Chains A and B, each alone.
Chain A
Amino acid sequence: NAGVTQTPKFRILKIGQSMTLQCTQDMNHNYMYWYRQDPGMGLKLIYYSVGAGITDKGEVPNGYNVSRSTTEDFPLRLELAAPSQTSVYFCASSYSGGGYQETQYFGPGTRLLVL
């Protein structure tokens, strides 16, 4: 049981390039999330998904896109990288159903540097 895994661990992008951050969970959680963490700031929610095929915006969605075709995977897409997207990105997952809601569990993060 690996929990939440993320790839890559670290990436350097040039301004205007695109990339996809991968996130996979093996806990059969229905909810998945993407956060970014900047120095001195709390984690900010970018997008989240309540299940395959259903996504919604968080606090800071501009410049990002997501899709969720399976329960396990929730990739985050950066189309035109900008220096403001330099950050550490965390994927998380949780289970919610029948009035019961579990804690969000986080992956190890992807550090992205846009130059």
Chain B
Amino acid sequence: EDQVTQSPEALRLQEGESSSLNCSYTVSGLRGLFWYRQDPGKGPEFLFTLYSAGEEKEKERLKATLTKKESFLHITAPKPEDSATYLCAVQRAGFQKLVFGTGTRLLVSP
């Protein structure tokens, strides 16, 4: 069974304090690993898709990386507006279904 585990559950940072969120996964034949951002009371907002080990993608202060067992979302010099829940999901090759982790709640204090 495909599984996604995200850690930590919650993370509190000071503005400018860089850190990383972890997404560990097991899947039979990875088609893609997805990162979403979710603000309170809103739907998940797409950030990145990673397809193969070694791939990296960046967007502003966020950088996502992928290995054969896990993905990291690195946040460099975060700002309060980066506060949100970050969701990781995997998709098995040949399937449409996404399997989601429970998310990491990030709070960035000024």
Contact = CB atoms under 8 A, between A and B. Distances in A.
Counting contact residues on chain B (CB < 8 A from A), the size range is: 20 to 34
B96 A103 contact: no
Given A42-B4, A105-B46, A50 B96 contact: yes
A46 to B, nearest CB: 11
Nearest to B97: A45
Contacts of B102: 40-42
Interface residues of A, number: 24
Residue of A43, A45, A90, A107 with most chain B CB atoms under a 10 A cut-off: A43
B86 interface: no
Interface in A79-115: 90, 94, 96, 101, 103-109
Interface of B: 4, 31, 34, 36, 41-46, 49, 87, 89, 96-103
